[in-house]
Amino acid sequence: MKVAVVYESTRGRTKAMAEAICEGASSAGAECAVVDAKEFSGFDDICGIALGSSTRMKKTLPMVKRILSELPPLNGLAAAAFGSYGWSGEAPDEIAVKLSEAGGSLIEENPIKAKDYPSDSILEQCRALGGKLAEKCSK
């Protein structure tokens, strides 16, 4: 069982957040995979998921959008949303709503959002989120 950190990113900013989340999960002792959304193959063997996208034209990027449209029942799976944005940042909110509607158990009340490139403090929040996902996986 592993933590999956799935992302879609145009300029690497959301990807940097994904890498920090996995770093946190790995440091906390979980197996963790950073997965490009176009390579995501499903929820088998996953004990926690963080799903992230930047916002483009007020929307979630298409590969993450597709994952959201095909979500299976998540049955309380530990879940979190994240993403970089420029000015409005709708994508992480949409992801959080869809994960929750599918039965995911959101481990943060609010998604982690980074305006432009994630700052050190946001990257620290990302690592902490990874740690919390790892903790859920160990139970």
Minimum CB–partner distance for residue 54 and ligand FMN (Å): 3
Listed ranges 8-16, 68-76, 95-103, 124-132: which one lies at the site for ligand FMN (CB under 6 A): 8-16
Sign of the Cα torsion 121, 124, 130, 136 reads: negative
Please tell me whether residue 14 binds ligand FMN under the rule CB under 6 A: yes
Q: Of these, 19, 40, 54, 137, which contacts ligand FMN (CB under 6 A)?
A: 54
CB of 110 to ligand FMN, least distance (A): 16
Interaction of residue 82 with ligand FMN, rule CB under 6 A:
no
Q: Per CB under 6 A, which of residues 88..117 are in contact with ligand FMN?
A: 88-89, 116
Least separation in angstroms between residue 100's CB and ligand FMN is: 21
Cα–Cα dist 63/42, whole Å:
13
Q: Which of 64, 84, 93, 94 binds ligand FMN (CB under 6 A)?
A: 84
Q: How far is the CB of 91 from ligand FMN (least distance, A)?
A: 8
Q: How far is CA 129 from the centre of its chain?
A: 9
Q: Which is nearer to ligand FMN, 26 or 84 (CB)?
A: 84
Number of Cβ within a 10 Å radius of residue 19: 20
Residues of this chain that interact with ligand FMN (CB under 6 A) are 9-14, 54-58, 84-89, 116
